[in-house]
Amino acid sequence: MSSLTGINKTLVVLASLFLVLGGIKLASEIVVPFILAAFIAIICNPMLKFLARFKIPKGLAILVIIALVILIGASIGGLVGQSVNDFSKQLPTYKEDLQEKFVWLVSTAANYNILLDKQQLISMLDPNKLIDVATNMLTGFGGVMANSFLILLIVIFMLFEAPSLGHKVHLALDDPEMKMQQIDRFLDSINSYLAIKTLVSLATGVVAAVFLWALGVDYFVLWGVVAFLLNYIPNIGSIIAAVPPVLLALVTQGPLVSGIVAVGYICINTLMGNIIEPRFMGRGLGLSTLVVFLSLIFWGWLLGTVGMLLSVPLTMVVKIALETSEEGKWLAILLGSEQPDNRTS
């Protein structure tokens, strides 16, 4: 009878979970701006604390932060929007040039008795299919940012509430002495993770843009923004971000520059993802490659383009939350990238 009760509890939990996910899916137009605003507020919160050290009033500090966000967002948005429009107009020309490169590749391979089907190669490596993955993500993200006024309003209210959030949770808990430490660890971990991840992603985008500018690759600002956004998706994101500039360099400047761009992206992402980021985050905050891929599919299905871009941060929020509870630690270990070492010396 007890096992039946356990099964019933499991079924109730699963049914509730499906209902919640279905509700989030149906209300995604409201949920997505709220989630995006929450991440922006969390990223801006350390800046608010920094300004508070100088005895700057909270209202004035928030006004400065929002003005800075608007200035940066409008500047980058204008540059990227113009680049996307120009690139979309030039895409048919790039496609024809790229097909000519493939024809040359097939002819060269045939000289070495390597027979390739030209039409099949072109259909497999259609630049529209390869480049659209990155540009569609950027366009979808821009569509969500069309609600920028609503997002900014939510960010402002969240920043006003941020300092008192811990106190409110403290009052809401029945046993604050025991549970408050777990919630504090959870909030601190989320703040540090998103702050470090954003800084590393920003550095990745800036270095990639400067690198492409030095090589003379067109639309280097656009590809820098793409590298910044897709750096939130480890492994898969860096590959997607590298495809458009590598193909564009192949079309406009030849195989040598294209190869240099590919090697440069590998070096940038290796440096940022495997050396700098783990040094500041710690090794325990990683996710397994399988979890990264599955989270990309799940959050993309649930929340669309923003869900794909924020799939890893959202999964990290779940993982950190599980790590702060004794009941969920086993699941957090399964989500992690490292195998726990249980050997005794």
**For 89-117, how does the pLDDT look when each residue is reduced to its tens digit (9 = 90+)?**
777 777 777 767 777 777 777 777 666 66
Residue 113 sits at φ, ψ, to 5 deg, of 60, 30
Per residue in 185-225, pLDDT tens? 667 777 777 888 888 899 999 999 999 999 999 888 888 98
Least reliable range by pLDDT among 98-107, 127-136, 226-235, 315-324? 127-136
Q: How many residues does the chain have?
A: 345
Structure confidence at residue 332 (pLDDT): 76
First and final C-alpha spacing in the chain: 44
Tokens 């360099």 locate to 249
pLDDT at 263 over 90: yes
Would you state the structure tokens that stand for residue 250, as one six-digit string?
A: 């192949």
d(Cα 220, Cα 216) in Å, to the nearest integer?
Answer: 8
Structure confidence at residue 265 (pLDDT): 93
Structure confidence at residue 205 (pLDDT): 92
Furthest CA-CA distance within the chain: 77
d(Cα 86, Cα 223) in Å, to the nearest integer?
Answer: 13
More confident residue, 38 or 175: 38
Q: What is the mean pLDDT of the chain?
A: 76
Structure confidence at residue 292 (pLDDT): 79
Least reliable range by pLDDT among 9-23, 101-115, 175-189, 282-296? 175-189
- The DSSP symbol for 222 reads H
The predicted model gives 310-331 an average pLDDT of: 76
Indicate the helix (H) or strand (E) that contains 54.
none
The predicted model gives 55-76 an average pLDDT of: 84
- The DSSP symbol for 296 reads H
Q: How far is CA 230 from CA 176, 193, 241, 250, 344, in A?
A: 39, 16, 6, 22, 40
